[in-house]
Amino acid sequence: MEQREFGGSNMAKPSDNLFLHADGDAFFVACELTKRPDLKGKPVIVGVDRGIAVAMSPEAKRLGVTRGMPVFQIKKLCPSVVILPHHFDLYRDISERMHEILFSYAKRVEVYSIDECFALVTPPEIKYFSTPEKFMSELKREIEGSLGVTYSLGLARTKTLAKQASKLEKPAGVVMLLDKVDETRALKKTPIEDIWGIGRQTIPKLARLGMKTAYDFVKFDPSLTLPKGEGTTPLPLEGVRGRSARFSRPLFELQRELSGESIWDVEDNIDPRDQKSIQCTETFRPASTDPKIIWKELAKNAEGACEEARALRLLSNKVSYFVKSSEFKYRTAEVKLPFYTSDPGLVLSAIEPNFPRLLKKNERIRSTGVILHNLIREEKAPRDLFGAQDKALKRTRVEEVADQIREKYGHDTIKKAASLKKK
């Protein structure tokens, strides 16, 4: 990736939010290959249990296998192809781990499908890595090093441009559209039928108006203003050669998005109390080999995750935690609690006995994380005969008072001793 100064002339400004789109490459097949590395480089498809090809490896595509092709036909025409059944638990696991990685880089993430997601990347999140190029490079390295699959990544000034960017250099591509020159080049490469958001029935109508590429679509002048109260009602336009064209409001907004005007936002408005896990992770600099420093960082993550859970009145009885080395090697462990809690003291007490096993001598650790699993609403916490759950809830009340102190006097006013910096 070409290194450029963020915020230079003709580029997105350092004060601007950017949009990221991540799209899994041959996702189902890639997931299967994490369990069957012996099949890498071979023609593989997924779909034997459905009777048709649902996903294909690049090698299978080169043999002429297409999506939806019947399995019996594939076996006849391409006997060397390996045909596998679906394993949706595996796909969901890798997808959720991808989302957890993305949440460690950006606070707002939209899960679009099992193999696609968007994120809103803010200026401070870019600034941490100094440039957009380094941000994307670090993200790509972590995804591939941690998951064993590849994603094509797009970063741009609008959500639609980010989606188009991720398509341009598949597989495993990283494309950034941060200025008009790059946007124009990308739009000219994109056929009209490959524009996200344009339906199949609309494509022939746009083609009849002389539009062959996304650039033609952006430059087409509908000569209209949207009247108040028009909603999504199609608006009559005068097309070329005397034809009558009709643009709906979503189509008009799509045109503005592709021209670099941000209209559509990342949608993360699901009920936060319905989430099944909460993760808090942070990269620290410089990387360290000191167990005390690493534990301090992990304790901060436990406090952060538990504080978020308390704000939502959620409880967890299963906690996983990890360390990540400078070489992007992960070591993880988990602990099951005999009760549900959002008290970081109880979480850290459960983690501490096995924490040293995650560390290797002289290995530099750059990041730690804590994930609360099996989240339930506080009012639904099951009670037990021996009162362990009630005792855990009483402990949580102390933390809730601490939350009130932080809200009034500042976030760092009161903390667990384990997460305090060495004085």
Phi and psi at residue 288, to the nearest 5°: -135, 150
Quote the domain boundaries for residue 369.
273-419
Domain boundary among 147, 165, 186: 186
What's the Rg (C-alpha) of the chain? Answer: 25
Active site residue 116: yes
Whether residue 264 is contained in a domain is answered as no
Mean pLDDT of 12-27: 87
Whether residue 263 is contained in a domain is answered as no
DSSP output for 168-236 = TT-SS-EEEE-BHHHHHHHHHHSBGGGSTT--TTHHHHHHHTT--BHHHHHH--------TT-TT--EE
Express each pLDDT in 364-399 by its tens digit: 999 898 999 989 998 888 877 677 777 777 777 777
Residue 227 tokens, joined: 């009247």
Angle at 141 between CA 136 and CA 145, to 5 degrees: 150
Check whether residue 345 and residue 228 sit in a common domain: no
Q: How many domains does the chain have?
A: 3
- Distance, in Å, from the CA atom of 270 to the CA atom of 273, rounded to the nearest integer, reads 9
Please provide the average confidence, as pLDDT, over all residues in the chain.
84
Mean pLDDT of 285-308: 92
Share of the chain above pLDDT 70, in %: 84
**pLDDT, position 417:** 65
* pTM of the predicted model over 0.85: no
Check whether residue 177 and residue 208 sit in a common domain: no
Check whether residue 219 and residue 308 sit in a common domain: no
Residue 231 tokens, joined: 């909603």
CATH classification of the domain holding 138: 3.30.70.270
Catalytic residue among 32, 116, 133, 257: 116
Express each pLDDT in 184-241 by its tens digit: 999 999 999 999 988 888 888 888 888 999 999 999 876 543 344 434 444 444 333 4
- Distance, in Å, from the CA atom of 215 to the CA atom of 258, rounded to the nearest integer, reads 9
**pLDDT, position 280:** 84
